[in-house]
Amino acid sequence: MKHIDIVKILKDKDHFSGQQLTLCGWARTVRSSKGICFIELNDGSAFRGIQLVIDESTCPDYALASKQGVGAALKATGTVVSSYKNPEIPEINVSSFEVLGEAPKDYPLQKKRHTLEFLRTIAHLRARTNTFNAMFRIRSALSIAIHRFFQERGFTYVHTPILTGSDCEGAGEMFRVTTLDPCKAKPAGMSDAEFYKDDFFGCKAGLTVSGQLEGETLAMALGKIYTFGPTFRAENSNTARHAAEFWQIEPEVAFAELEDLIELAEAMIKSIISDVLDNCPEEMAFFDKHYDNGLVDKLRTLVQQDFVVLEYTEAIRILQESKVQFDYPVQWGCDLQTEHERYITEKVYNKPVFVINYPAKIKSFYMKQNSDSKTVAATDLLLPGVGEIIGGSQREDNLEKLERRMKELNMEEEDYWWYLDLRRFGTAPHSGFGLGFERLLLYITGIGNIRDVAIFPRTKGNLQF
């Protein structure tokens, strides 16, 4: 269909002024008074739309236009002029008008403002609202910013598998993938190997929780790699920050130790947030105005700040000395709960904090064991208001130490033979982290629930679309 994207007219009004153009889009608002119909038309090419002015005395399609409802798909031809109210803003004096698809009165987006909870029930239509138009535009810009950051630094983008046999985090949160009869349970006493030998892959399979283990194999050849793809967790956590399907960015770097990883993570967060601020000013102003006053200033401050690096042991000491009555008591060896993370980032530092060197007992098998034999060279990046957005570590590159740890955790070594091979053939120090894409979007937009940053959220009990 021959037509022009609205964004082009908005960006270069002077160039198009006086020209006769055809536009397509959906009506956001329709109102008529004294023989003039005004339609706010949005085609998704920009956050904003453009106003169509249909004058009864000059446009034969006035009657048709004025009876259109919000949500109708329209095509209009007319001349670009300056808005009567603000000469900086272009609008269209329509000469001919066509309805591509009507939207009757039961179109659910009649009101100007709906609650986010209501919009979740119409996820197939919510992208037509300002909030989700802005959100998904920022989602796109953030993705590109991430690729740009890694590409500029010589990282190779790799696609790790979604179907996998290895549970990277060992937390038993893998969704199972099977073609076996779902009604047939595994007989008592039968091994997994025996039961799954007739399954599609001839072994137990699931959806990946992380591309890290496969990513490590590529870093051991390509040096610096990153993944950017969907990961899945059958976590029973019904919170505002947990989704069953979420996107993760997982860089893995050969010849990098924990401090190199922290430097990389800090540079990445600052670079991609700056990119979004530069590239999505209207969308960010919208979230600042409607959802989180001061958001843009908060992000501008963040990209100027030095992030804090805090030993886990020190974090425990701070929490214990705080005299705050936490729901979960604090002692060395405990996992940090959201309330602890929030206290540290919001009350103590009010900036991003890398907590480092966690107790081995609460972290995954692959993390580099420190010489104190109690802690591992791991780090979580905590952000005020959101909590953990990054989890990473230096990897255990010593074969015996890794095997010993896997035995302690009753892991089957033969399931990981290829992972252990990396420690047999040309092993080297290496490190990586996983950034939760939706968690970062929560922080950047000031939105409080992961269900409102994912396009079609998948959470426990929710897979409607």
Of the two residues 172 and 189, which places its CB atom closer to Mg ion in the complex?
172
Gap between the terminal Cα atoms of the chain = 29
394 binds, among ligand 4AD, Mg ion, none (CB under 5 to 8 A by kind): none
Of the two residues 28 and 439, which places its CB atom closer to Mg ion in the complex?
439
Partnered with residue 50 across adjacent β-strands are 41
Of the two residues 218 and 389, which places its CB atom closer to Mg ion in the complex?
389
Token output for 407: 């035995």
Of the listed pieces 96-104, 106-114, 244-252, 256-264, which binds ligand 4AD according to CB under 6 A? 244-252
Interface characters, 368-387, with ligand 4AD (x: CB under 6 A): --------------------
Dihedral angle sign, alpha carbons of residues 150, 225, 364, 233: positive
In the complex, the smallest distance separating the C-beta of residue 211 from ligand 4AD, rounded to whole angstroms, is: 7
Answer yes or no: are the C-beta atoms of 51 and 39 closer than 8 Å: yes
392 binds, among Mg ion, ligand 4AD, none (CB under 5 to 8 A by kind): ligand 4AD
Of the two residues 173 and 403, which places its CB atom closer to ligand 4AD in the complex?
173
Residue from 70, 141, 261, 390 touching ligand 4AD (CB under 6 A): that is 390
The answer to whether 251 contacts Mg ion (rule: CB under 5 A) is no
State the Cα–Cα distance between residues 199 and 318, nearest whole angstrom: 51
The answer to whether 216 contacts ligand 4AD (rule: CB under 6 A) is no
Reference 131, options 459, 455, 440, 385; nearest CA is 455
The answer to whether 168 contacts ligand 4AD (rule: CB under 6 A) is yes
The beta strand positions in 102-189, using DSSP E, are: 156-157, 163-164
Q: Which of residues 389-418 bind Mg ion (CB under 5 A)?
A: 391
Token output for 127: 């992208």
Of the two residues 352 and 436, which places its CB atom closer to ligand 4AD in the complex?
436
The DSSP symbol for 157 reads E
Sequence-separated (6 or more) residues with CB below 8 Å from residue 192? 186, 203, 204
Reference 68, options 112, 35, 104; nearest CA is 104
Sequence-separated (6 or more) residues with CB below 8 Å from residue 402? 365, 366, 396, 420, 423
Token output for 457: 């959220």
Token output for 141: 């810009």
204 binds, among ligand 4AD, Mg ion, none (CB under 5 to 8 A by kind): none
By CB under 6 A, the count of residues binding ligand 4AD is: 22
The answer to whether 365 contacts ligand 4AD (rule: CB under 6 A) is no
Of the two residues 37 and 168, which places its CB atom closer to ligand 4AD in the complex?
168
Residue from 137, 224, 233, 430 touching ligand 4AD (CB under 6 A): that is 233
